[in-house]
Amino acid sequence: MSERELHVISNGKLAWKEMAAIAIQIHPYVTAIHIREKNKPMDEVFMGVQYLLEQGIPARILCINGYPWMATAAGLGGLHLPESSPQLLTIMESYQSAHRTGVSVHSTEEAVKRESEGADYVLYGHIFATGSKLGVEPRGLEQLGNVARHVTIPVIAIGGITPAKVRSVLAAGASGIAVMSGIWEADDPVETVKAYIRELQQEETRGERLEAYE
């Protein structure tokens, strides 16, 4: 069984100095730290990425959302794109890099399409009710399971996922989870990350035992 993934996505509320202070503590434990700053100008985002790198955040851990050129220019480990993005082949031909590329999706059909285009993973949600999506019905575990059954690439679940809900999300078929404010706004971000990791690892260990028994 492949290692379970934990993606931490910036929430657009922190100054770069605050983000760096937390990122430097949590990066050894996570799969990726996504820089998702939709309300900041592009130039500021690029300077912010450079600042994070200067503070010691490894480039391989950083994933930029929405700027293919930035992933290439800064040598980042990841590029994440919104569902509205054009075909991945077009983007990849323009910006050659070794980064891992993921796409946000909100349906099984879109997940299948993005896999066929060459996406390395899809981000699907929101799974549970969350403050960032007030009034929007969550998609839930059943729809998450349907997406996971129709693709072979990892499905990363997002939306209202607390440590207590990790196992149900993995049981539905997700390969990992993504968290935003639950980590950045935690009283102790490192301990919160470790709580998520414990749940991810326990489910992974359980799956390995079942595979060995079979």
Bridge pairing between strands 32-35 and 62-65: parallel
Q: Which of 18, 202, 22, 34 is nearest to 104 (CA)?
A: 34
**DSSP string spanning 104-125?**
EESSHHHHHHHHHHT-SEEEEE
**Do residues 200 and 177 lie in contact, with contact meaning Cβ atoms separated by under 8 Å?**
yes
- Amino acid, single-letter form, for residue 108: T
Residues with active-site annotation: 126
**Do residues 84 and 71 lie in contact, with contact meaning Cβ atoms separated by under 8 Å?**
no
**Do residues 68 and 79 lie in contact, with contact meaning Cβ atoms separated by under 8 Å?**
yes
d(CA 203, CA 57): 28
**Do residues 93 and 80 lie in contact, with contact meaning Cβ atoms separated by under 8 Å?**
no
d(CA 70, CA 40): 14
Beta bridge partners of 124: 105, 157
For 15, what's the count of Cα atoms within 13 Å in the CB-facing half-sphere? 2
